[in-house]
Each structure stands twice: as structure tokens, then as C-alpha cells.
Amino acid sequence: MITFTLNGRKVETDAPPSARLLDVIRDEYLLIGTKEGCGEGECGACSIFVNNLLQNSCLIPIGSIEGAEIVTIEGIMESDQFKILDESYSEAGGVQCGYCIPGMVMASAALLAQNPHPSEAEIREGISGNLCRCTGYNMIVDAINLAAKKGDGLWQKK
Amino acid sequence: MAEKIIAYRFDQVDQTLSQLNKEDCTIIAGGTDVMVLYKSRRGVPPKITKPIVFIDHLNELKQVYKKGKDLHIGACCTYSDLLNDPLIPTPLKNAIKTIAAPAIRNRGTLGGNICNASPAGDTLPLLYVYNAKLVLRSVSGVRIVAISDFIQGVRRVDRKSNEILAEIILPSELEEGAYAVFEKVGNRNADAIAKVGFAGYIRTNGEVIKDIRFAFGAVGPTMVRSVDIEKKLIGKTIPLAGADIAQVLSAFDKIIKPIDDQRSTARYRKTVALNLLRYFLSRKQYQHN
Ligand SMILES: Cc1cc2nc3c(=O)[nH]c(=O)nc-3n(C[C@H](O)[C@H](O)[C@H](O)COP(=O)(O)OP(=O)(O)OC[C@H]3O[C@@H](n4cnc5c(N)ncnc54)[C@H](O)[C@@H]3O)c2cc1C
Ligand code: FES
Ligand code: FES
């Protein structure tokens, strides 16, 4: 049995220890906001937080996260930070097909929590592990810029 | 139903070592190499046949501290841990910044990069020129080996099945007047596996070269370094004469034997490798770091 915290709730799973956290959160807990793109750490669609750090859930064996705090996109949706990101992504036209967006939003939130006033280069570095096949990234960079401005003062409290 | 997958996650290094002494296991630190290696279909747990031993949570393997002139780095420090640590030398931080993207750097470890022994491992050229030593621990105690002896081939290392890599020691990090640099040529910034990696190290006294070292990554099965070639430059003055530079380049031209693969061609790799070396040798001065 592996015990961990998922979006603030204590949970237990008897998935085999090598099972990917990605599969466990999607198939067992039906949190399907977290997506699978490549399954190899390259695309960031599966991004989640482990103890507040951005990680790729497709690379995490469930047996390694005993006691950890896992937060998925569903876990941040009620936050003020999420509301600002949501608005900013819509306003900047940063969402097309949407497949990459949960991962992008997690990466954006991680970046802004660490660096509330990022430069454009820092924004691009912050989302460098997230692939988007639709937008060409510029609108996503705009969205994060906008979110930094709109949420001024909000990012560092977590 | 698949066979049962066994895994251990002990609270202490000692318990981990006893287990490794009982049976041959697959060690997982960050898992960023292991999970890709054993990747299976979605929904199907990676089929890792040996019992798994998780080690990334062990604090004992995450310490960074100085002991005399030596810098000790715990094998399970993640790249992000190292970027945030004031004791880590800037050239190593710069090399780490070229690795993948934030989410991978929050998980991948220095020990994993070494034990994975990929020819394109980005920390390796620099660790070679730092003359890094590796602390291997087992139930029988501690064994210390030079990184160049530890890495024997592509994904092949001199680790006994009951050992773990516990620490990396950078012995010369603090030598005065030393300058080190890592350069990587790849495709795109994030997630770009190196086509060529180069590390250079130089220690001078005034204009006189006291020590000089180079290592190339991704141009052969292991890092390419030649102490014999390096020795020829000791005692010379900077800026180096054109003839000296040409001699070193032609010596490396003979021992660098890259391959063609999907990322690049052998010819391109060799040209880039030699250009990086030429650039390093042609500098008028080296700012100490
Ligand atoms: C998308 C992506 C991008 C990447 N980009 C780069 C890059 O740009 N540059 C680069 O160099 N690498 C890159 N990598 C490779 C990888 O992230 C690094 O090699 C990383 O350092 C591996 O560390 P880990 O802790 O995740 O290793 P793991 O996967 O846990 O282990 C790797 C190997 O080392 C062994 N091992 C690990 N720790 C120990 C120990 N302490 N003692 C004994 N054995 C041990 C394991 O058994 C395994 O064989 C990338 C990987 C991915 C998925
Ligand atoms: S699915 Fe995890 S990074 Fe692509
Ligand atoms: S919006 Fe379609 S992949 Fe990013």
C-alpha cells in the first residue's frame, strides 16, 4: 500500500510500485485533467506538483512518492492564482485545442510562484518542458506576462 | 496478470545497502532515465524485472558540504537542489542549466547522470576535468574511484551490484587561479541531447599554465580525455602560440572518433568538437571562477 496526499486528501493505492503516477491519478482517481502526450518526459502534458515542485507524472513510479503531497490541475482550480491564469490565457488567446493547457498552466503557476516578474526569456525557459502543437507559444508567453501583471502580489503566497 | 513487482524504500542507507547485498536490484533515484528505459503502454506499469530500490528520498545522499579543499556532493541531489546551493561551482551550474527543462531538473539527480553513463550525459565532461572522485558504499564499506575509471562504456559502469554511489567529490574545485567552462552544442534549448559537449579547465600562475584539462562528450562511447596531450601544454604561456594550438588540435583529431546517429553526423561532431577546443585554447585570458 502506498499512501500519499492527492489535492489535499490522504489517499491509498495498491497499484504496483512501478506504476506511473500519471496512470494512477487518471485511472484510479479519475483526475483526467492531467494528460499524456509523449510518456517520456518531453512534452509536459502530464505536469503536476510533487511537494510544490513541478514534475512530469509520466516519469514517477508510484512507489517513490510515499508520503508526498501531489497536486494536479484539479487541485489548483479553486485558487485565485488559477482564476488569473484562466482569464489571462483566454484574453491572450493562448488556448487552441487545449491539450497542452493543463500542463502549461501548472508550469506557469510554478514559474510565477518562484519568479513573480519573469522576463520573456525566463517565461520561455519556465515552459521549455511543455510542448504546444497549436499556438506557436507566443500567445502563451503573452498569457503568462498578463497573469504576472494581473496577479501582482498574489504569486508568492502559496 | 503480470508478475508481481517488488520494491523497497528504506528509511536508512544502511538498510538499503543490506538489501542490495542480498539480491541484485534496480536502483531508482529520480527515475528519469529508468522510467523511459522501461516505458510500456499507457496504463501498464513499466516492467522492471529486478526488485526496485528507491533511494531518492534518502537525506543522507543529498548533502552538499566542504571537507578541507574537497567539495562533497550527495548523489541524490537533484539538479534543482544543486542550482540552489551556494557551494556548487558556477561552471557546474551552467552545465546543469543546459539539461532538459525545470520539471526534469526537479527530479533528475547527479548520481543518476553518472550511473546512467550516457555518452551525452551533460555533467560528465566537467566532472572529468574536475578529476571527480566517486564514493561507492556497500555493506563492506567505502570504495573511492576516479570517474574516468568508473565509467567504462555506454551505460556500463564499474559498480558492484551491492554498491550505491553515495557522493561525488570535486577535489580541485577550490584550487586558486582555476577557470573551468562547459559548452554544449545541441538542437533546441530544452530537452536537447548534446551533439557535442566540451569541458575545459585551466589553472595559471600569471601567464604560465600550471594545469590544463579537456574532456569531450557525445563524440565516443565515453568522455574523451587525454592526460598525455594535456601535459604538453603545462609550462607554456598564454596566449598560446598558433603552433601549440595546432599540435593539440591534430592530436585530438586522431583520438576523437564520433559516430553518425539520428542526432548528427560524425563529421559535424568532430568539427564542432575541435572548434570548441580551438576557441578555448585561443583565449587571451581566463577569468577565474
Ligand atoms: C525529457 C528528458 C530530457 C533529458 N535531458 C537531458 C539532458 O539534456 N542532459 C543529460 O545529461 N541528461 C538528460 N536526461 C537524462 C536524465 O534526466 C539524467 O541522466 C538524470 O541525471 C538521471 O538521473 P535520475 O536520478 O533520474 O536517474 P535514474 O533514472 O533514477 O537512474 C539512472 C541510472 O543510474 C542508476 N543510479 C541512479 N542513482 C544511483 C546511485 N546513487 N547509485 C547507483 N546507481 C544509481 C540507476 O539504477 C539507473 O541505472 C533527460 C531525460 C529526459 C526524460
Ligand atoms: S506525457 Fe509526461 S512529459 Fe509527455
Ligand atoms: S493548444 Fe493545442 S497543443 Fe497547445
Q: Where are the domains of chain B?
A: 7-170, 178-281
Which residues does residue B78 pair with via DSSP β-bridges, in sequence order? Answer: B109
Closest CA to B55 of B94, B25, B90, B89: B25
Inter-chain residue contact A16 with B52, CB threshold 8 Å: no
Residue B277 one-letter amino acid: L
Which residue, chain included where needed, has cell 593539440?
B248
| Together in a domain, A91 and A128 | yes
Instruction: Examine the domain organization and report whether A33 and A96 are in the same domain.
Output: no
- Tell me: do A71 and A14 sit in the same domain: yes
pLDDT at B289 over 80: no
pLDDT at A158: 47
Residue B177 pLDDT? 78
Domain co-membership, A10 together with A55: yes
pLDDT the model gives residue B258: 85
- Output the domain CATH number for residue A13: 3.10.20.30
Q: Would you list the DSSP string of B54-94?
A: E-TT-GGGG-EEEETTEEEEETT-BHHHHHT-TTS-HHHHH
pLDDT at B225: 97
Chain B 32-71, residues with CB within 8 Å of chain A CB atoms = 32, 35-36, 38-39, 42-43, 45-48, 52, 54, 56-57
Same domain, A72 and A85: no
Same domain assignment for residues A43 and A100: no
The per-residue pLDDT for A157 is 55
Averaged over B63-83, what is the pLDDT? Answer: 96
Q: Does B7 touch chain A (CB under 8 A)?
A: yes
The pLDDT of residue A156? 76
Residues A30 and A71 in one domain: yes
Task: Indicate the CATH number of B7-170 among 3.30.465.10, 3.30.428.10, 3.40.640.10, 3.40.50.720.
Answer: 3.30.465.10
Residue A45 sits in which domain range?
Answer: 2-76
Say if residue A14 is in the same domain as residue A71: yes
* DSSP character at residue A64: G
Contacts of A9 (CB under 8 A, 6+ apart): none
Q: Which residue of A has its CA nearest to B27?
A: A64
Contacts of A137 in chain B (CB under 8 A): none
Q: Which residues on chain B are in Cβ contact (under 8 Å) with A17?
A: 5-7, 52
Count of the separate structural domains present in chain A? 2
Judge whether residue B153 has pLDDT over 90: yes
User: Is A99:A35 a contact under the CB 8 Å cutoff?
Assistant: yes
What's the pLDDT at B2? 54
Q: Which residues of B touch A54 (CB under 8 A)?
A: 102-103, 106
Same domain, A11 and A55: yes
Write down the pLDDT at residue B161.
Answer: 97
Q: Coil, strand, or helix at residue B5?
A: coil
- Domain-terminating residue out of A76, A104, A128: A76
- What contacts 24+ positions apart, CB below 8 Å, involve B271-278? B272/B185, B272/B195, B272/B196, B273/B196, B273/B198, B273/B216, B273/B219, B274/B249, B276/B183, B276/B185, B276/B196, B276/B198, B277/B198, B277/B200, B277/B214, B277/B216, B277/B248, B277/B249, B277/B252, B278/B245, B278/B249
The answer to the question of residue A155 being in a domain is no
Instruction: Please report whether residue A47 resides in a domain.
Output: yes
Q: Do A61 and B36 touch (CB under 8 A)?
A: no
- B139 Cβ partners below 8 Å, 6+ apart? B17, B18, B20, B21, B162
**pLDDT of B214-223, one tens digit each?**
999 999 999 9
Q: Is residue A158 part of a domain?
A: no
- CATH tag, B178-281: 3.30.390.50
pLDDT tens track, chain A, 158 positions: 999 999 999 999 999 999 999 999 999 999 999 999 999 999 999 999 999 999 999 999 999 999 999 999 999 999 999 999 999 999 999 999 999 999 999 999 999 999 999 999 999 999 999 999 999 999 999 999 999 999 998 987 54
pLDDT at B191: 52
Q: What is the DSSP letter of B241?
A: P
Q: Are residues A140 and A104 in the same domain?
A: yes
What is the least distance, in Å, from the CA of A141 to any CA of chain B? 16
| Chain B residues near residue A107 by CB distance under 8 angstroms | 102-103
State whether A49 and A92 are in the same domain: no
Verify whether the Cβ–Cβ distance A60 to B31 is below 8 Å. Answer: yes
* CATH at residue A94: 1.10.150.120
Domain membership of residue A52 (yes or no) is yes
From A60, A63, A125, residue closest to B9, measured CB to CB: A63
Residues 6+ apart with CB under 8 A from A85: A105, A108, A109, A143, A147, A151
Arithmetic mean of pLDDT, B16-23 = 98
